[in-house]
Amino acid sequence: MKKALIFTVFLVAATVQGLQARGQKFTISGKIDGIVKGDTLRFRRITLPGWATGQAFDIVVKKDGKFKYRGVQEHDQFYLMEYFPAEGEAPVCDRMGKNLVISGGDRITMDGIRDEIYYCTLGGGIYKDPALSVYLCASDSLDAVRGSYVRKIEEANAAGDHETAAMYGEKFNKFYDDNPGAGRVSRLRKEYFDSSTGGNIFTLVEYISRMDYTPIETLRKQFDGFSRETRDSWYGKVYEKRMNAVEAISIGNQSPDFTLTMTDGSTVSRDGFSGKYLLIYHWGMCPGSLHIDRYVQDLYSRYHGRGLEVIGITESVQKIYNIWEETEEGASVPSLGIDDLKATLDSMLNHPWPDAELETGHPENRQVSDMFLISGWPFFIFIGPDGKILARDFSEAFGQAKKILEEKFGE
Q: Give the span between the Cα atoms of 333 and 289, in whole angstroms.
A: 13
In this prediction, residue 288 has a pLDDT band, given cuts at 50, 70 and 90, of: very high
406 has a pLDDT exceeding 70: yes
Mean residue pLDDT of the chain comes to 93
Q: Give the span between the Cα atoms of 233 and 102, in whole angstroms.
A: 13
Domain covering 259-409 assigned CATH 3.40.50.800 in the classification? no
pTM for the model: 0.81
CB–CB of 324/342 below 8 Å?
A: yes
Q: In 10 A of CB 237, how many CB atoms?
A: 13
60 has a pLDDT exceeding 90: yes
Share of the chain above pLDDT 70, in %: 94
Q: What's 254's DSSP letter?
A: B
DSSP structure string for 307-357: TEEEEEEES-HHHHHHHHHHSPTT--BGGGTBS-HHHHHHHHHT-SS-EEE
Looking at domain 22-124, which CATH architecture does it have?
Answer: Sandwich (2.60)
Share of the chain above pLDDT 90, in %: 85
381 has a pLDDT exceeding 90: yes
The mean-pLDDT minimum among 10-24, 144-158, 206-220, 369-383 falls in 10-24
Q: Give the span between the Cα atoms of 210 and 231, in whole angstroms.
A: 18
Amino acid of residue 322: N
In 3D space, the residue among 209, 199, 275 whose CA is nearest the CA of residue 50 turns out to be 209
The backbone torsions φ and ψ at residue 255, rounded to the nearest 5 degrees and listed phi first, read: -65, 140
Q: Are strands 98-102 and 107-113 parallel, antiparallel or unpaired?
A: unpaired
Domain boundaries, the chain: 22-124, 196-248, 259-409
Q: Cα dihedral angle (383, 385, 390, 391), rounded to 10 degrees?
A: -30
DSSP structure string for 176-191: TTT-HHHHHHHHHHHH
Q: In 10 A of CB 90, how many CB atoms?
A: 15
Cα radius of gyration (the chain) = 25
The backbone torsions φ and ψ at residue 291, rounded to the nearest 5 degrees and listed phi first, read: -75, -45
In this prediction, residue 331 has a pLDDT band, given cuts at 50, 70 and 90, of: confident
